[in-house]
Structures are given as structure tokens and as C-alpha cells.
């Protein structure tokens, strides 16, 4: 009898502890458009989420492959279950975020790469700055001043990338141009590859993929045709050090764990935060051997110019 | 706008990528035609391509040989055909629902299995696939030799497959029986045609062929696997079957139409930045609607398509 009572007591204490842990933990959920193994945007967000667990007292959860139609459903489910912070991974989440905020005012909602939205925290990389750096290098290496950029669908972030990329190119080729192609599918590797081959045959000799899983098709096409790629969001040298000319890294993981820490401390405001060059460590990958030293120095100087706000984009 | 049509090098690049985009569609469409001619709707083409793609990646990765990858894709596709036949032919389930179920299952199953089987990420693979080789004499034909006869083994397999399917369906006793059970299984049964056996065989063969379409993407185009790598090509193939009036050769031409116009729109986007890219993206579909309207004559699908056959029921 005593034993049983003891057991019950233990169970009660354990249950109490679990409850305590749940009640005290800061609970964060990420809602992702793709899969966490895409070696790209979704994976970065996931890594950042995992990293924020190390802050202590943070409990994480995530949902993959959330379509536009399911966004509100999935996010409000997290809100009902008492999550304190919900991260919408991508600008397409702003509308859903707005609705969640109006229904659950106590829940913080962060949207990565979103347009500035009332009542929602949007975190935004200054894409022009990163794209400017890779455009600078691409222009110096390009033989004819024709570059190309690929994405799936027209999104504001891509327009900003192209703007920065073109500005960077014009440093060396004032008349140079950037060809753009939309493949209509973020994960169709074969189509991205076909589109890249087409761009290369039109004279583009440095390509910039702005895609999810499909970026590998661009890298492969460049490798096979003997031209180069530059990465603006992630280090393409990891996939192909031969074809990668130079990559900047937009550390979405760092962005996520920054926002978790800030929200946990109660300092995260519902406004837009901009992240330019210099916001996170490890923002640049290695240079390809074909990039001469003076260009590498030029990039270093450009980083300082960007930080000082000396570069204008039009 | 159409300058590239007069530049042999650019034109062959353009046609090459158009044909490359068509090949997976052609395998799926021919497989689908075989099923539908026998009176069984195969809406599962997309799922079967996806299963074939994963099986090809697994087989080629474990054995180091592209042929083993192809064989495992064929077997996996055949297995999905067995499933479709049992549920849709013997158990008389609704073939549309079963086809969709197989596609949905394949989408989740392949994502899951690729994470289990490739912990490093299936998109880091560099598989030993089928590489292009020239056919003696034929490859020396000016211009077309390079496009049609410097291809990989799967491409040649596709040419043979289309020819053989055409011959079997329209020129043999077996083909007559297949067409008969698709039109009027009762009459065919009276004449001694084994309806069930033939339906099973056609669905299994057609499914295996559709799976080769997925294997082609993995083993001849991108040499890796990533989630949802088929990106809806199976559904486009369904459209090609209707556009091709359930004739393997016309369905092949319909796939080429899709593929070539897809390549054309990718190319024109890059050269015509002032025209909205969505207009170009819609082009293959607009063209197919025009082709559909322009093809005068009655659309005559197999009369018994999707209808269950029971000898005991009138």
C-alpha cells in the first residue's frame, strides 16, 4: 500500500515537474514552406531554431511544407497551444501573421523577409547589399558583362537582389546587364538546370540562383558548361567549390535565434528590423581561386562602404 | 526576339533543352496511354514517377551503377501498378481516388525515405548516371545528329519504347485485344480475351514505364534526388494523353510541344524583361489549349475507361 502511495506521489511530482517545465519554457514554433533538409533557406531556419534551444528554457516545434492555404490554420494551432513566438519563414506569411496577431495579441509573430506589416515583427536582410558584393566579384570575373539571376516566382526580395547585383556589376561593366528568369517552381531541379543552360547559351557567364532546392540545377549547369555561380543567401562552395565564384551568406538561422533571444527577454517589438552586411559573423564564403587578390581587397573595401552607407542603389 | 532561331549553336541548345524537358513527360504519357487504352485510369503517374525517381537514386547509389538504378525504378513502378490494379481493377475502387491516393502517398513516402536512406541529404548525391554517347553514323547528320543522336541510353530507350508501343497497340493481335477491353470489355470477354489478366498487365507495364520517367530525371538530368523532384510532371503528362488522343505517338508529340514551349518561354523571359514573365510561363498551356481547339474531330476516349468490369453484371 505504502509502495503504491509512494509511486503515486512520484508520478504526481513528475507530472508537476513536467507541467512546471512546460509552463516556464519559452515556446517557439516555426512554420516552413519547404523541408528542413533542403540545404537552403528552410534548413537555415531550422538550424537557427535548434540553436535557440541552447539559450536554455526554450522549447521548439516546427511544421514543414505548409502551403499558402494552411498557413493560418497551422499558425493559430500553435497559438492555441500556448506558443509564445511563432516564426513564419518567408514573406508569403505576412497576411497569415496579421490575422494571428489580431486573434492572439499575446503571441509574438515574426515573419522573415516580409514586407513591413503593422503589428507584426518583420526581419529583413538588406538584399541589395549582399547581392552588390557578389555582383562586384561576378562583374570582375565575367568576360562580357552578362550575368543572370534565377528565381521561381516574382517576389520583392528577388527584385532587391537583382538591383544590388546589377549595381555591383556596373562597377566593372557600366553597360553590363543581368538576365533574369522565373522557373515557376522552387524545387524543380531539372527545370532550373534547363533554364540555366538557356541563360548560359545567351552569353551569361556568372549565374545567381535565388531558389530553394532547385538551386542545385543551376550549380550543375554552370559546372557542366564551365561557367560560374555566385550565392547570395548561402555558401555554394559547399556544393561545388569549382563552380562557386563567391558567396555571401544570409544567416537566417542567426536571424531566428536573435529574435528568439530578443523575444524571450521581452524586447522584441512589432516593427521592421533590417539586417545589413555586418549583422552576423560568417557572412562570406571562400573565394574561388580565379578571383584575383585585388578583387578580394575590393570586396573588403566595399563591405566598409556598405556599412558606412556610401553605396546607393537605384 | 527570335534571333536565336538563326544561330545554329543557340538553336541546338534551345531544342536540346526543350527535348530534355519533354523526355520525362513522354515516359509518363506513354505509360498512361497503355493503362487508359486498357480501360484503367492512371491518375497516379505523378506518384509513380516520384517513386521511380527515389528508387533510381537508391539503386544507383547502393550499387554504383545506373542500370541497377533503372531496374529498381522499373520494379518499384511495377509494384505501384500491382497496387493500382488490385485496388482499382479487382476490388473495383474508384480509380481516380486510388490514383490520387498513390500520388499523395508517394509524395510523403519518398520525402520520408530519402531522409532515412540518405542521412546526409539526397540532394548531396552525385550519382553515376547515364551519360550521353553518340550513335555511329547517325550522330554525323548535320544539326539534328547532335540533338537526337548524342543522347543518353534512356533517351534511345524512349525512342524505341514509343515505336514499340505504337506497333503493339495498332499492329498486333495483342494491341487489338488491349483496345477492345478499353472499349467494350464484355464483347472482348465473349471473344475469349482475358480481360483481367490483360488489364493487370497493362497497368503494371504502364506504371513501370511512368517510373522510368522519374528515373530519367535522376539518372540522366540532375544525378541527385530532392523532395518532389518531379514537380507535377505526371499531371502534365495526363494532359498530354488527352491532347494526344490516347495515341502514343501523338501523346509524345504533345509532350514535345509542352517541353519545347517551356524551353522557349524560359529563353524569351530572359531576353524580354519588359514583358511580364507570367505571360511567358503561361505559354505552354495556352499553346496546348490552342492545339486542342485546333485539332478538329471528335475526342474519343476509351469508352470503358474507369469503368469496372464484372463478368456477372450486365
Kindly report the nearest CA distance between residue A179 and chain B, in angstroms.
5
Contact B62, B196 (CB under 8 A): no
CB atoms within 10 A of CB B64: 11
pLDDT at A1: 42
Contact A202, B268 (CB under 8 A): no
Model confidence at A107, pLDDT cuts 50, 70, 90, reads: very high
Using an 8 Å CB-CB cutoff, list chain B residues near A217: 222
A214 burial via Cβ count (<10 Å: 0-12, 13-18, 19+): buried
pLDDT at A143: 94
Residue A116 sits in the same domain as residue A183 = no
Query: How many folded domains does chain A comprise?
Result: 2
Q: Supply the CATH number for residue B264's domain.
A: 1.10.3470
Residue A109 sits in the same domain as residue A195 = no
**pLDDT beyond 70 at B297:** no
Tell whether B301 is covered by a domain.
no
Domain span at B71:
3-123+150-294
Give the three-state DSSP class for A226. coil
Give the mean pLDDT of B9-38: 93
Residue A302 sits in the same domain as residue A169 = yes
pLDDT at A18: 47
Model confidence at A2, pLDDT cuts 50, 70, 90, reads: very low
Cβ of residue A212 closer than 8 Å to a chain B Cβ: no
**pLDDT beyond 80 at B294:** no
Model confidence at B122, pLDDT cuts 50, 70, 90, reads: confident
**pLDDT beyond 90 at B269:** no
Give the mean pLDDT of B158-168: 97
Give the mean pLDDT of A51-74: 93
Kindly report the nearest CA distance between residue A72 and chain B, in angstroms.
22
Give the mean pLDDT of B154-169: 97
Residue A260 sits in the same domain as residue A245 = no
Provide the pairing of β-strand A177-182 with A26-31: unpaired
Residue A41 sits in the same domain as residue A73 = yes
Give the mean pLDDT of B220-247: 92
Cβ of residue A37 closer than 8 Å to a chain B Cβ: yes
Phi-psi region of A71 (alpha: psi -120 to 50; beta: other; left: phi over 0): alpha
Q: Which residue has the higher pLDDT, B285 or B254?
A: B254
Helix spans in A116-228 (H): 127-141, 156-172, 189-201, 215-225
- The predicted-structure confidence for B166-211, as pLDDT tens digits, reads as follows 999 999 999 999 999 999 999 999 999 999 999 999 999 999 999 9
Q: Which of B224, B231, B267 sits opposite A187 (nearest CB)?
A: B231
Q: Which residue has the higher pLDDT, A39 or A257?
A: A257
- The predicted-structure confidence for B108-117, as pLDDT tens digits, reads as follows 999 999 989 9
Chain B, nearest residue to A43 by Cα: B121
Q: Which of B111, B222, B270 sits opposite A202 (nearest CB)?
A: B270
Contact A186, A211 (CB under 8 A): yes
- The DSSP element (H or E) to which A3 belongs, if any, is helix A2-24
pLDDT at B93: 93
Query: Between B45-63 and B233-243, two packed helices, what is the crossing angle to 10 degrees?
Result: 130
Tell whether A312 is covered by a domain.
no
C-beta atoms of B228 and A198 within 8 A: no
Give the whole-angstrom CA distance, residue A301 versus residue A295. Answer: 10
Give the whole-angstrom CA distance, residue B237 versus residue A130. Answer: 40
Tell whether B36 is covered by a domain.
yes
C-beta atoms of B14 and A148 within 8 A: no
C-beta atoms of B271 and A179 within 8 A: yes
Chain B, nearest residue to A178 by Cα: B270
Chain B, nearest residue to A215 by Cα: B123
Q: Is the ipTM of this complex over 0.95?
A: no
Model confidence at A6, pLDDT cuts 50, 70, 90, reads: low
Residue A133 sits in the same domain as residue A191 = yes
What's the DSSP call for residue A160? H
Model confidence at B295, pLDDT cuts 50, 70, 90, reads: low
Give the whole-angstrom CA distance, residue A195 versus residue A217. Answer: 9
Model confidence at A10, pLDDT cuts 50, 70, 90, reads: low
Tell whether A301 is covered by a domain.
yes
pLDDT at B22: 96
Tell whether A314 is covered by a domain.
no
Q: What is the 3-state secondary structure (H, E, C) of chain B?
A: CCHHHHCHHHHHHHHHHHHHHHHHHHHHHHHHHHHHHCCCCCCCHHHHHHHHHHHHHHHHHHHCCHHHHHHHHHHHHHHHHHHHHHHHHHCCCCHHHHHHHHHHHHHHHHHHHHHHHCCCCHHHCCCCCCCCEECCCHHHCCCHHHHHCEECHHHHHHHHHHHHHHHHHHHCHHHHHHHHHHHCHHHHHHCCCCHHHHHHHHHHHHHHHHHHHHHHHHHHHHCCCCCCCCCCHHHHHHHHHHHCCCCHHHHHHHHHHHHHHHHHHHHHHHHCCCCCHHHHHCHHHHHHHHHHHHCCCCCCCCCCCCCCCCCCCC
Residue A207 sits in the same domain as residue A133 = yes
Q: Which of A162, A201, A239 to mutate against chain B (most B CBs within 10 Å)?
A: A201
Residue found by looking up cell 492512371 in the block: B42
Query: How many folded domains does chain B comprise?
Result: 1
Using an 8 Å CB-CB cutoff, list chain B residues near A189: 123, 217, 221-222, 224, 226, 229
Sheet holding A177-182, edge to edge: A177-182, A146-151, A206-210, A228-231, A244-247
Give the mean pLDDT of A45-57: 93
Domain span at A56:
2-125+252-275
Tell whether B74 is covered by a domain.
yes
Residue A179 sits in the same domain as residue A224 = yes
What's the DSSP call for residue A92? G
Using an 8 Å CB-CB cutoff, list chain A residues near B13: 197-198, 201
Cβ of residue A47 closer than 8 Å to a chain B Cβ: no
- The predicted-structure confidence for A224-270, as pLDDT tens digits, reads as follows 999 999 999 899 999 999 999 999 999 999 999 999 999 999 999 99
pLDDT at A17: 47
Cβ of residue A39 closer than 8 Å to a chain B Cβ: yes
Tell whether A111 is covered by a domain.
yes
Tell whether A236 is covered by a domain.
yes
Residue A164 sits in the same domain as residue A297 = yes
Residues with Cβ < 8 Å from A163, sequence gap 6 or more?
Answer: A128, A131, A313, A314
**pLDDT beyond 50 at B156:** yes
Give the mean pLDDT of B206-235: 94
Q: Supply the CATH number for residue A29's domain.
A: 3.40.50.2300
Chain A, nearest residue to B282 by Cα: A184
Kindly report the nearest CA distance between residue B63 and chain A, in angstroms.
23
**pLDDT beyond 90 at A13:** no
Tell whether A313 is covered by a domain.
no
Q: Which residue has the higher pLDDT, A308 or A20?
A: A308
Tell whether B134 is covered by a domain.
no
**Upper half-sphere CA count for residue A170 (Cβ side, 13 Å):** 13
> Any idea which of A79-93, B178-192, B260-274 has the lowest mean pLDDT?
B260-274
Tell whether A157 is covered by a domain.
yes
Residue A9 sits in the same domain as residue A108 = yes
Cβ of residue A155 closer than 8 Å to a chain B Cβ: no
pLDDT at A20: 45
Give the mean pLDDT of B80-89: 96
Chain B, nearest residue to A184 by Cα: B281
Residues with Cβ < 8 Å from B79, sequence gap 6 or more?
Answer: none
Query: Between B45-63 and B8-37, two packed helices, what is the crossing angle to 10 degrees?
Result: 110
Q: Which of B218, B270, B279 to mutate against chain A (most A CBs within 10 Å)?
A: B270
Residue A61 sits in the same domain as residue A120 = yes
- The predicted-structure confidence for A133-162, as pLDDT tens digits, reads as follows 999 999 999 999 999 999 998 888 899 999
Cβ of residue A55 closer than 8 Å to a chain B Cβ: no
Residue A184 sits in the same domain as residue A131 = yes
Give the mean pLDDT of B6-21: 87
C-beta atoms of A220 and B226 within 8 A: no
Provide the pairing of β-strand B150-151 with B133-134: antiparallel
Q: Which of residues 237-266 of B touch A (CB under 8 A)?
A: 262-263, 266
On average, the pLDDT of chain B sits at 92
Q: Which of A181, A193, A199 sits opposite B222 (nearest CB)?
A: A193
On average, the pLDDT of chain A sits at 90
Q: Which of B2, B118, B267 to mutate against chain A (most A CBs within 10 Å)?
A: B267
Q: Which of B10, B223, B273 sits opposite A201 (nearest CB)?
A: B10
Tell whether B299 is covered by a domain.
no
Give the whole-angstrom CA distance, residue A60 versus residue A86. Answer: 10
C-beta atoms of A198 and B17 within 8 A: yes
Tell whether A96 is covered by a domain.
yes
Q: Which of residues 266-305 of A touch B (CB under 8 A)?
A: none
Amino acid at each position: 500500500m505504502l509502495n503504491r502511495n509512494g509511486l503515486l506521489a512520484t508520478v504526481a511530482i513528475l507530472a508537476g515537474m513536467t507541467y512546471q517545465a512546460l509552463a516556464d519554457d519559452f515556446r517557439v514554433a516555426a512554420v516552413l514552406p519547404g523541408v528542413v533538409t533542403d540545404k537552403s533557406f528552410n534548413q537555415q531556419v531550422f538550424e537557427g531554431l535548434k540553436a535557440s534551444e541552447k539559450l536554455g528554457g526554450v522549447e521548439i516545434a516546427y511544421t514543414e511544407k505548409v502551403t499558402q492555404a494552411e498557413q493560418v490554420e497551422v499558425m493559430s494551432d500553435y497559438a492555441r497551444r500556448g506558443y509564445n513566438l511563432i516564426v513564419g519563414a518567408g514573406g508569403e506569411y505576412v497576411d497569415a501573421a496579421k490575422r494571428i496577431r489580431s486573434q492572439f495579441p499575446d503571441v509574438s509573430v515574426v515573419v522573415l523577409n516580409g514586407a513591413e506589416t503593422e503589428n507584426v515583427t518583420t526581419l529583413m536582410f538588406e538584399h541589395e547589399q549582399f547581392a552588390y558584393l557578389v555582383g562586384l566579384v561576378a562583374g570582375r570575373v565575367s568576360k562580357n558583362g552578362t550575368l543572370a539571376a534565377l528565381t521561381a516566382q516574382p517576389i520583392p526580395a528577388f527584385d532587391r537582389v537583382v538591383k544590388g547585383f546589377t549595381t555591383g556589376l556596373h562597377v566593372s561593366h557600366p553597360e553590363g546587364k543581368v538576365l533574369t528568369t522565373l522557373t515557376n517552381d522552387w524545387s524543380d531541379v531539372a527545370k532550373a538546370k534547363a533554364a540555366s543552360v538557356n541563360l548560359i547559351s545567351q552569353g551569361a557567364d556568372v549565374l545567381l540562383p535565388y531558389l530553394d532546392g532547385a538551386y542545385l540545377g543551376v550549380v550543375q549547369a554552370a559546372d557542366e558548361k564551365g561557367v560560374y555561380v555566385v550565392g547570395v543567401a548561402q555558401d555554394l562552395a559547399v556544393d561545388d567549390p569549382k563552380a562557386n565564384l563567391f558567396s555571401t551568406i544570409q544567416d537566417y538561422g542567426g536571424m531566428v535565434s536573435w529574435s528568439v533571444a530578443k523575444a524571450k527577454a521581452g524586447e522584441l517589438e512589432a516593427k521592421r528590423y533590417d539586417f545589413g552586411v555586418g549583422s552576423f559573423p560568417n557572412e562570406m564564403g571562400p573565394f574561388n581561386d580565379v578571383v584575383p587578390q585585388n578583387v578580394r581587397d575590393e570586396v573588403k573595401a566595399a563591405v566598409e562602404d556598405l556599412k558606412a552607407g556610401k553605396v546607393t542603389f537605384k | 526576339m527570335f534571333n536565336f532561331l538563326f544561330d545554329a549553336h543557340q538553336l541546338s541548345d534551345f531544342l536540346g533543352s526543350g527535348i530534355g524537358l519533354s523526355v520525362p513527360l513522354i515516359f509518363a504519357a506513354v505509360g498512361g496511354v497503355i493503362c487508359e487504352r486498357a480501360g484503367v485510369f492512371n491518375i497516379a503517374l505523378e506518384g509513380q514517377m516520384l517513386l521511380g525517381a527515389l528508387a533510381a537514386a537508391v539503386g544507383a547509389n547502393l550499387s554504383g551503377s545506373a542500370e541497377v538504378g533503372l531496374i529498381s525504378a522499373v520494379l518499384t513502378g511495377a509494384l505501384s501498378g500491382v497496387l493500382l490494379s488490385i485496388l482499382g481493377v479487382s476490388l473495383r475502387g474508384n480509380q481516380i481516388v486510388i490514383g490520387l491516393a498513390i500520388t499523395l502517398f508517394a509524395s510523403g513516402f519518398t520525402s520520408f525515405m530519402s531522409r532515412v536512406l540518405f542521412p546526409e541529404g539526397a540532394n548531396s548525391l552525385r550519382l553515376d548516371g547515364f551519360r550521353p554517347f553518340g550513335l555511329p553514323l547517325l550522330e554525323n547528320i548535320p544539326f539534328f545528329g547532335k540533338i537526337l543522336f548524342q543522347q543518353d541510353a534512356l533517351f534511345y530507350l524512349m525512342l524505341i519504347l514509343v515505336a514499340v508501343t505504337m506497333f503493339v497497340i495498332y499492329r498486333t493481335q495483342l494491341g487489338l485485344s488491349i483496345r477492345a477491353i478499353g472499349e467494350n470489355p464484355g464483347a472482348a470477354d465473349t471473344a475469349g480475351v482475358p480481360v483481367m489478366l490483360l488489364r493487370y498487365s497493362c497497368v503494371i507495364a504502364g506504371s513501370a514505364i511512368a517510373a522510368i520517367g522519374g528515373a530519367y530525371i535522376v539518372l540522366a538530368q540532375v544525378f541527385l534526388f530532392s523532395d518532389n523532384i518531379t514537380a507535377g510532371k505526371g499531371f502534365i503528362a495526363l494532359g498530354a494523353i488527352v491532347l494526344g488522343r490516347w495515341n502514343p505517338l501523338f501523346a509524345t508529340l504533345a509532350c514535345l510541344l509542352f517541353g519545347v514551349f517551356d524551353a522557349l518561354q524560359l529563353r524569351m523571359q530572359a531576353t524580354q524583361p519588359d514583358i511580364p514573365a507570367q505571360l511567358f510561363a503561361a505559354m505552354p498551356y495556352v499553346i496546348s489549349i490552342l492545339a486542342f481547339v485546333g485539332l478538329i474531330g471528335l475526342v474519343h476516349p476509351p469508352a470503358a475507361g474507369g469503368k469496372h468490369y464484372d463478368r456477372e453484371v450486365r
